[in-house]
Amino acid sequence: MTHRISNKRFRTFLIVFVLFFVAVSGARAELLIRITEGANAAIPVAVVPFAESGQVPAGDKVSTIVQSDLTMTGEFRTLPPGKMLSLPSRREEVYFRDWRLLGQRYVLVGALTRSGDRIEARFELFDVNREERILGETAAAPASNMRSLAHHISDKVYEAITGVPGAFSTKLAYVTLDNVTGKPRYRLQVSDVDGKRARIRLESQEPILSPAWSPDGKRLAYVSFETGKPVIFVHELASGKRTKVADFPGLNSAPAWSDDGQSLLMTLSKDGNAEIYRMDLGSRQLTKLTNHWAIDTEASWDADGSGIFLTSDRSGGPQIYHMERPGAEPRRITFGSRYNARPRPDDDGQFVYYVHQRDGAFHIARTELKTGEETILTRTGSDESPSVAPNGRMLIYATRQGGSNVLTVISADGGAAYSLPAAEGDVRDPAWGPLVR
Amino acid sequence: MNFPAQSKAFALLLSVGLVAGCSSTGGTSEDGGEYGSDVAAVDQEGGSTVYGGDDQDGVSSSSMTDQERMEAQEQAAQQALREITVFYFDFDTAEINQEARDVLVAHARFLANNPGQGVRVEGHADERGTKEYNLALGERRANAVQRFLIVNGASRGQIETVSYGEEKPAVMGSSESAWAQNRRVELVFE
């Protein structure tokens, strides 16, 4: 399973890492971050401002970004530096009693050193109660890339405390719609998970939807109406090269990558009705996986990469189904309401997340696959497009807030975390990128 | 709920019906022809037309046969029906309602009589539910209309279908009324 492979890769990844960040377009349109709610059980962490030697870039400080990363998950609350009794940067300077008095469970200290055009970070995380160092590493990045360095440190801290890799270095893809002038502008964008460093990858006057990340994080598949009808493209992010992969009569939609990045699941209606197909991207050969008069769409590989979740209205309304293997008879998963659609499984095969209608409102819900138990995760009422973070701890979805479409990130069990409204216009169709390096 | 285009067209249809009604009962005036001097148009304000005048010695309908008159009436009625090009659907259905059927029959006949004429059938959904399912639902609606047109005389080659799902709402907003106006199929004649 892709994400597992990526996790493994992530865990063993070199301490000194090189960041490739290719800006295809200089245009920026950042999302504003709005933290809605912290969990009550948030773990107190003190992120001490890092010591600096040599010329360290001005702007957002690494420790500030780490602090903001940890806070936005809702799982942590951080201590404002003004309340700290001392500002240690190494173990010998940490007085555990002070941090205990301040009610802190963990303390992160560190230092940044300039070396040529790179910045090296040395950082250590301490468990205050046990008076133990639980993490001590160095990492380096180009001086122009302090955000990536900070997100890397956040990932490490998150993993040291929770045992699960952090997803702060991952990317989001989403579509913004700016209709201020009456001429709609759809923009496919890629940003950090905190909405920063957004880059426009495609701009169109016609709708763009359903972006899907390749497992290596290097390509996006999506549906674009630029030719007047829905057509599937694969877009290589580094080069900006786009390939039209499905342009059959009728629908060409709902692309989803296989774990090996070699094929796409997609919905085509070339034979008159929406069915799920698999397309081998090398040969462009199609295999038809469903054959039913009903709508079959929104396919996604399951956690094993052996079966497929899909939406089908063969029972009369849209419901979630699972095919044990491609082409097998779909088995219905959801029964709780008349409308359940767009399944997205997590990485370890525990849950499937989807859009669920109850009392006229659309929420994000999940079903535990072992027990069939369904939980509604959101209180908002026009929720769409759930996408699970690759570490399975967070979920992003699109909803309406104050008359416009925003993205909201919640913890996977439903705790509210933060929302990402577009600075202008609507933002929709989020896709959380994989853990990759 | 307010559907301006539809109600306008129905008003037009109604007035055609009124004209037809007058001429068939009165037998003194015919729509599409000239009115006699003693047949006055009493009120032509406000979109509706009311005719007055005596029965006696009026202009006869001799310039047209009954057959021709009926055809002309029928043609006007058909044309009025074809003013309607947007058809509405219930949530998560692609069922064509009775009102729409009568209108679509008129469009189908027109297409049958004009083989060179093409039409684009655009299916739409409201914003509720998921984008991809709505894309398929919009297609199902467009296909239902396409099939209906074909069954009633249009040929497949004249019709192109496309679904926009929930991407191109007719009306912005998240009210029952906005949703009702967005769950639609639009015919676009090229």
Average pLDDT, chain A: 89
**CATH number of the domain that residue A363 is part of:** 2.120.10.30
Same domain, A313 and A427: yes
Number of structural domains found in chain B: 2
Same domain, B95 and B176: yes
pLDDT band (50, 70, 90) for residue A57: confident
pLDDT tens string A43-55? 999 999 999 988 8
Same domain, B94 and B185: yes
What average pLDDT does the segment B171-190 reach?
A: 94
pLDDT of residue A34: 58
Name every residue whose Cβ is closer than 8 Å to that of residue A132 and which is 6 or more positions away in sequence. A126
Same domain, B164 and B71: no
Whole-Å CA distances, A372 to A51, A308, A327, A353:
51, 17, 23, 12
User: Cβ separation of B133 and A295 shorter than 8 Å?
Assistant: yes
Higher pLDDT, B46 or A122: A122
pLDDT band (50, 70, 90) for residue B17: very low
SS3 of A48, please?
A: coil
Domain boundary residue among B80, B101, B134?
B80
Number of structural domains found in chain A: 2
User: Cβ separation of A342 and B135 shorter than 8 Å?
Assistant: no
Across the A:B interface, residue pairs with CB atoms under 8 Å apart total 81
Whole-Å CA distances, B174 to A86, A435, B128, B134:
53, 36, 9, 16
Q: Is the pLDDT of residue A95 over 70?
A: yes
Same domain, A177 and A153: no
pLDDT band (50, 70, 90) for residue A340: very high
What average pLDDT does the segment A341-360 reach?
A: 94
Higher pLDDT, A416 or B166: B166
Compute and round to an integer the Cα radius of gyration of chain B.
20
pLDDT tens string B110-156? 999 999 999 999 999 999 999 999 999 999 999 999 999 999 999 99
pLDDT of residue A313: 96
Same domain, A175 and A152: no
pLDDT of residue A425: 79
What average pLDDT does the segment A222-248 reach?
A: 97
Domain boundary residue among A99, A132, A162?
A162
A258 in a structural domain = yes
SS3 of A246, please?
A: strand
pLDDT of residue A437: 61
Residues in chain A with CB shorter than 8 Å from the CB of B133 are 295, 297-298, 311, 313, 318, 341-342
**Spatial separation of the C-alpha atoms in residues A207 and B169, rounded to whole Å:** 12
Same domain, B156 and B175: yes
SS3 of B58, please?
A: coil
What average pLDDT does the segment B29-35 reach?
A: 36
Same domain, A127 and A235: no
**Spatial separation of the C-alpha atoms in residues B74 and B23, rounded to whole Å:** 13
Same domain, B11 and B56: yes
Same domain, A372 and A244: yes
User: Cβ separation of A362 and B139 shorter than 8 Å?
Assistant: no
Same domain, A119 and A181: no
**Spatial separation of the C-alpha atoms in residues B1 and B56, rounded to whole Å:** 45
A126 in a structural domain = yes
pLDDT tens string B57-103? 555 556 678 888 888 998 888 888 899 999 999 999 999 999 999 99
Residue-number span of the structural domain to which B25 is assigned: 4-80
**CATH number of the domain that residue B117 is part of:** 3.30.1330.60
pLDDT band (50, 70, 90) for residue A40: low
Domain boundary residue among B44, B64, B80?
B80
Domain boundary residue among A141, A162, A183?
A162
A336 in a structural domain = yes
pLDDT of residue B173: 85
Length of chain B: 190
B127 touches chain A (CB under 8 A): yes
A17 in a structural domain = no
Same domain, A215 and A261: yes
**Most confident option among A234-238, A389-393, A405-409, B34-38:** A234-238
Best of A232, A247, A297 to mutate (most B CBs within 10 Å, chain B): A297
Residues in chain B with CB shorter than 8 Å from the CB of A317 are 92
Q: Under a CB-based contact definition with an 8 Å cutoff, are residues A65 and A110 in contact?
A: no
B147 touches chain A (CB under 8 A): no
A11 in a structural domain = no
Q: Which of A55-59, A290-294, A408-412 has the lowest mean pLDDT?
A: A55-59
**CATH number of the domain that residue A148 is part of:** 3.40.50.10070
Domain boundary residue among B65, B80, B95?
B80
Name every residue whose Cβ is closer than 8 Å to that of residue A110 and which is 6 or more positions away in sequence. A48, A50, A51, A62, A63, A89, A121, A122, A123, A124, A153
pLDDT of residue A32: 62
Compute and round to an integer the Cα radius of gyration of chain A.
22
Best of A204, A276, A311 to mutate (most B CBs within 10 Å, chain B): A311
Q: Is the pLDDT of residue A338 over 50?
A: yes
pLDDT band (50, 70, 90) for residue B45: very low
Same domain, A74 and A131: yes
Same domain, B55 and B97: no
pLDDT of residue B161: 96
pLDDT tens string A162-190? 999 999 999 999 999 988 788 899 999 99
Residues in chain A with CB shorter than 8 Å from the CB of B161 are 250
What average pLDDT does the segment A70-81 reach?
A: 92
Residue-number span of the structural domain to which A66 is assigned: 33-162
pLDDT of residue B57: 52
Higher pLDDT, A423 or B177: B177
Q: Which residues pair with A410 in a beta bridge?
A: A395, A416
B145–chain A nearest CA distance, Å = 14
pLDDT of residue B83: 92
A25 in a structural domain = no
Same domain, A38 and A183: no
Give the helix, strand, coil percentages of chain A, each rounded to 5: 10, 45, 45
B85–chain A nearest CA distance, Å = 20
Higher pLDDT, B119 or A410: B119
**Percent residues over pLDDT 70 in chain A:** 90
Same domain, B17 and B100: no
pLDDT band (50, 70, 90) for residue A41: confident
Q: Is the pLDDT of residue B22 over 50?
A: no
Best of B91, B128, B134, B135 to mutate (most A CBs within 10 Å, chain A): B135
Q: Is the pLDDT of residue A75 over 60?
A: yes
Residues in chain B with CB shorter than 8 Å from the CB of A228 are 162
Buried/exposed code over A316-348 (b: 16+ C-beta within 10 A; e: otherwise) = ebbbbbbbeebeeebeebbebbebbbbbbbbbe
Whole-Å CA distances, B79 to B5, B118, B188:
14, 17, 15
Same domain, B122 and B174: yes
A28 in a structural domain = no
Domain boundary residue among A132, A162, A192?
A162
A206 in a structural domain = yes
A119 touches chain B (CB under 8 A): no
Same domain, A259 and A338: yes
pLDDT of residue A1: 35
Residues in chain A with CB shorter than 8 Å from the CB of B190 are none
pTM of the entire structure? 0.82
Strands (E) located in A12-142:
34-35, 43-47, 51-53, 76-78, 106-115, 118-127, 132-142
Same domain, A94 and A221: no
**Spatial separation of the C-alpha atoms in residues B60 and B45, rounded to whole Å:** 26
Give the helix, strand, coil percentages of chain B, each rounded to 5: 45, 15, 40
Same domain, A176 and A146: no
